[in-house]
Each structure stands twice: as structure tokens, then as C-alpha cells.
């Protein structure tokens, strides 16, 4: 069986890894330069920085088992963050018992591990699909790819809807406004923040999350590096704001949180258009076409988060093997 997977984020990669293990041939297509989607660490400050997913938790037995295996392989480590929360003008210690993990050396390491680059077509945005005895895919640059028995769309809802012109029934099951944006900023500081916090859940400010990236295992650097995420609401309001304004805001917010002057060495900004699943909306589950060998997967199918993206990929693989 030859399977095409459009979208090489956590869901697409976990789906493909399961299909490969079951003996299928797998080929991934992704519009980005690299795989891992929203968990892909960005090149910055002469290294990498986690601008997307910050950490992950493991609550379901199947994912916990996988995380244990990754730990044994040195691909995942526990992040013992010094947690704080900021609310009503106060920075308060906020420890808990939740175990949080990160990929090492970078967030994307576990799900990319062991895959052959020949199985990927990157920089390829799929814009059209056809089914006649097998799947044919067309990309933005006019390239066509054919001969696939089954297809998995492991992309965010809006992008899935664009590709489902031929399947009204499936298209109508995809929630179109489920993912909210996130403006993400990383800063490299000339002088350290003199506070023990390494992560802050922020309430009632433009930022929702602040974390010291170099406090995560395998990411130690000479200068402190902080990642700041704006809330979905603020990110939506500031969708077209220029990077320098968002960086200035990030610095001002850091100064407010830690009550010290912040001196910037370097910065990077990324606008995630489809970032965080709106927890207020019902998750539809992994969607399976009744007419064609086609399955839809992604974090949004099961309610957001890395764990759910991985589990959705596994469920999609099972569905493909049974169509």
C-alpha cells in the first residue's frame, strides 16, 4: 500500500511512522522547509529556539508508553520548570505536580527521528487532489504526484477544507474556525533576568506565556533566551503588526513581570496563523471518508495539544489500514 500524507506535523509524522511499521510505503508532502509543523524549532541566535509548542504532557496510556521509549532513546527529557503565574500585578510561585516534557536536542526531535529524507517532498504546498483508481496530488509549483492508494490530510482545518472540493460530506464535518492565532517572540538578552522563574502563565495581559528557553534540557546558552506568546485574542487584534512593535511590547512586558530593565541583544518574531485549538469548540474526532480512501487527522480532531496530534495520527493510521 502506498500512502500520501499531506502535512508533516506531529499528526502526519505519527501516522506515517505507524504505517511504515505496518509495512506500508509512505510519502509526506509539506509546504514548509522542514517537517514537524507547529513543533518545529526555529533557527535563531546561532541555534534553535522553541517558538511554537513549548512542552508537552502525556495523559493517555498509549502516548505515555511512547514518551517512555523516547526518554530511553534520549529524544525526550523532563523539563522541571520553575513555574510562576502573573495575575493582578503580582508574580507568584505556582508549582504543581504535572510532568512536562520537551524533545531533545530540539522539540521536533522525537517525531522526526529515524525518518528518511527521501520519503519527504518539502516546500510543496498541495493545492489539488484527484482520485481515479489512485490518488493524484498537485502542488502550487505545478508538480504532480501519483500512484497513491490512500491519502491522509494531516493539516489544520482551514487548509483541509481548501483541499476537499470533491467531498462535500467530509468538508462539512471540518470546523473552519477552530484554530486561533499566536504571535510568538523570542529574545536573547544582554543581561540575565534576575529572578528564579523559568516559566510564567500570565493572566490579564497581552501575553499569555513567558518561558526561558535555555532552561530546558539540552538548550543551555551563554545568554538567556526567553520566548513570549501573546494570547489568542491579542494575537488576533495585532495580526498585521510589524515585528519591531511586537518585540518592543515583549520587552516592556518582561520589564513589568520581572521589575527590571531588560537589555536586548537579538530577537525573532513568528506569526502563527493557526496555532492553538479553541477549547470551547467540540472536537470532531479523526474523520474518515465514506466514499474514498481518505482520512483527516490533526490536533483539532481530538482537542489540541501535541499529545492529541500524535494520538490522532495513530488513529488515522489504523483507519487507513482498514479502508
| Closer of 156 and 293 to ligand NAI (Cβ) | 156
The span from the CA of 274 to the CA of 62, in Å, is: 27
Binding mask 181-200 toward ligand FAD (x if CB under 6 A, else -) reads -x-x----------------
Question: How many residues sit in the footprint of ligand FAD (CB under 6 A)?
Answer: 37
- Partner touching 201 among ligand NAI, ligand FAD, none, CB below 5 to 8 Å by kind: ligand NAI
Cell numbers found for residue 304: 489540541
The span from the CA of 281 to the CA of 288, in Å, is: 20
296 within 8 A of 287, measured Cβ to Cβ: yes
DSSP for 7-73? --SHHHHHHHHHHHHTT-EEEEE-SSSSSSGGGPPEEETTEEE--S---B---SHHHHHHHHHHHHT
One residue of 17, 18, 27, 52 binding ligand FAD per CB under 6 A: 52
Nearest distance from C-beta of residue 108 to ligand FAD, angstroms:
9
278 within 8 A of 284, measured Cβ to Cβ: no
CA-atom Rg of the chain in angstroms = 20
196 binds ligand NAI (CB under 6 A): no
The span from the CA of 92 to the CA of 207, in Å, is: 16
One residue of 113, 125, 195, 271 binding ligand FAD per CB under 6 A: 125
94 within 8 A of 117, measured Cβ to Cβ: no
Residue showing cell 510561585? 93
- Partner touching 311 among ligand NAI, ligand FAD, none, CB below 5 to 8 Å by kind: none
What is the number of residues in the chain? Answer: 323
Stretch that binds ligand NAI, among 68-76, 169-177, 233-241, 271-279 (CB under 6 A): 271-279
156 binds ligand FAD (CB under 6 A): yes
The span from the CA of 190 to the CA of 149, in Å, is: 54
What count of other Cβ atoms lies within 10 Å of the Cβ of residue 64?
14
Q: Which of residues 58-97 bind ligand NAI (CB under 6 A)?
A: 83, 85, 94, 96
277 binds ligand NAI (CB under 6 A): yes
Stretch that binds ligand NAI, among 19-27, 148-156, 239-247, 303-311 (CB under 6 A): 303-311
210 binds ligand NAI (CB under 6 A): no
Binding site for ligand FAD (CB under 6 A): 6-12, 29-32, 37-39, 52-56, 125-126, 154-156, 159, 182, 184, 229, 272, 275-276, 298-299, 304-306, 309
Binding site for ligand NAI (CB under 6 A): 56-57, 83, 85, 94, 96, 98, 201, 276-277, 279, 303-305
Amino acid at each position: 500500500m502506498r500512502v500520501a500524507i499531506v502535512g508533516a506535523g506531529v499528526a502526519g509524522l505519527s501516522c506515517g511512522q505507524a504505517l511504515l511499521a505496518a509495512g506500508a510505503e509512505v510519502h509526506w508532502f509539506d509546504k514548509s522547509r522542514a517537517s514537524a509543523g507547529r513543533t518545529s524549532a526555529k533557527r535563531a541566535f546561532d541555534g534553535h529556539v522553541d517558538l511554537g509548542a513549548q512542552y508537552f504532557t502525556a495523559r493517555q496510556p498509549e502516548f505515555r508508553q511512547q514518551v517512555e521509549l523516547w526518554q530511553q532513546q534520549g529524544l525526550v527529557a523532563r523539563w522541571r520548570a520553575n513555574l510562576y503565574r502573573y495575575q493582578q500585578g503580582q508574580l507568584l510561585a505556582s508549582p504543581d505536580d504535572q510532568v512536562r516534557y520537551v524533545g531533545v536536542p530540539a522539540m521536533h526531535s522525537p517525531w522526526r527521528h529515524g525518518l528518511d529524507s527521501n520519503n519527504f517532498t518539502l516546500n510543496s504546498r498541495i493545492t489539488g487532489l484527484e482520485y481515479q483508481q489512485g490518488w493524484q496530488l498537485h502542488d502550487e509549483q505545478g508538480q504532480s504526484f501519483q500512484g497513491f492508494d490512500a491519502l491522509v490530510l494531516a493539516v489544520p482545518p482551514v487548509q483541509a477544507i481548501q483541499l476537499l472540493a470533491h467531498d462535500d460530506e467530509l468538508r462539512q464535518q471540518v470546523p473552519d474556525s477552530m484554530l486561533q492565532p499566536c504571535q510568538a517572540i523570542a529574545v536573547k538578552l544582554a543581561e540575565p533576568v534576575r529572578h528564579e522563574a523559568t516559566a510564567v502563565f500570565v493572566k490579564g495581559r497581552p501575553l499569555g506565556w513567558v518561558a526561558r528557553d535555555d532552561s530546558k534540557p539540552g538548550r543551555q546558552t551563554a545568554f538567556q533566551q526567553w520566548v513570549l506568546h501573546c494570547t489568542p485574542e491579542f494575537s488576533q487584534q495585532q495580526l498585521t503588526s510589524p515585528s519591531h512593535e511586537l518585540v518592543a511590547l515583549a520587552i516592556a512586558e518582561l520589564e513589568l513581570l520581572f521589575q527590571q530593565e531588560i537589555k536586548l541583544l537579538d530577537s525573532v518574531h513568528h506569526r502563527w496563523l493557526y496555532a492553538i485549538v479553541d477549547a470551547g469548540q467540540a472536537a470532531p474526532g479523526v474523520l474518515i471518508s465514506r466514499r474514498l480512501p481518505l482520512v483527516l487527522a490533526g490536533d483539532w480532531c481530538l482537542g489540541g495539544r501535541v499529545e492529541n496530534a500524535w494520538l490522532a495520527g495513530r488513529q488515522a493510521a489504523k483507519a487507513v489500514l482498514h479502508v
